[in-house]
Amino acid sequence: MEKLIYSLFTSLAGYVADATGSFDWAEPDEEAHSFVNDQERPIDTYIYGRKLYEMMAVWETPEVFPSPTPAVQEYARIWQEAEKIVYSRTLSAVTTARTRIEKVFDPAKLRDLKARSERDLCIGGPTLAAEAIRAGLVNEFGVCISPVIVGGGNPFLRRRLPHVRRQTLPPQQSSGRAPHSPFVDFFAFGSLLCRTFPGAWSRFARNKTPGTRCNIFVAL
């Protein structure tokens, strides 16, 4: 059985989009994009809600990007080669290959998919991820923090999640920079955020599923 990973870019205070729904502030540069590619290359299946799927579908046609960089082109290939599952009651058709629609989130079916998968799965979007967290399915959290303050918006974690033990991440030494990347696996920064933004990152916690990890990457 492989891992189910919930991973997104966030602001300093833990928002994945601002109050207007925009996340332009999280757009990675070429070096950061290469790092993201390294993290997502092992992914076999992406799991989305309708809104996030419709935003991500642009990767099916990367030629629409003006002057796409090598990292952008590589991510497009990674995304196209992966399977996609879209949970939506309203979506009747998809516009991308290797994509299927599920009308209802069924934890048992997702648990079975994990058990049968030979590679990791990645779930996206706070609402859908909250359902998977409640069901005890998420094995790993990945937070890529952009050094910006957006003042509010859509949080990485929903507030009242049963079966989630809330804790402040303990301060400890950095585990080192990722090779050739502006990101660093920086658990001590989680403690700093909890002191700087009370209540925001104190919600960042690990699922009760044994072996769940929290990985924080900070854009420097």
What digits encode the pLDDT tens for the residues 168-189? 334 333 333 333 333 333 333 3
Quick one: pLDDT at residue 165? 43
Residue 106 falls in which region: left (phi positive, over 0), alpha (psi -120 to 50) or beta? beta
The residues spanned by each domain of the chain are 4-218
Tell me what the pLDDT averaged over the chain comes to: 79
User: DSSP string of 113-133?
Assistant: HHHH-SSEEEE-SHHHHHHHH
Instruction: Note the CATH number of domain 4-218.
Output: 3.40.430.10
Q: Which residue has the higher pLDDT, 76 or 152?
A: 76
- Partner residues linked to 215 by β-bridges: 142
What pTM did the predictor assign? Answer: 0.77
- 4 three-class SS: strand
Q: Residue 160 — pLDDT band, cuts 50, 70, 90?
A: low
pLDDT of 55-92, one tens digit each?
999 999 998 998 999 999 999 999 999 999 999 999 99
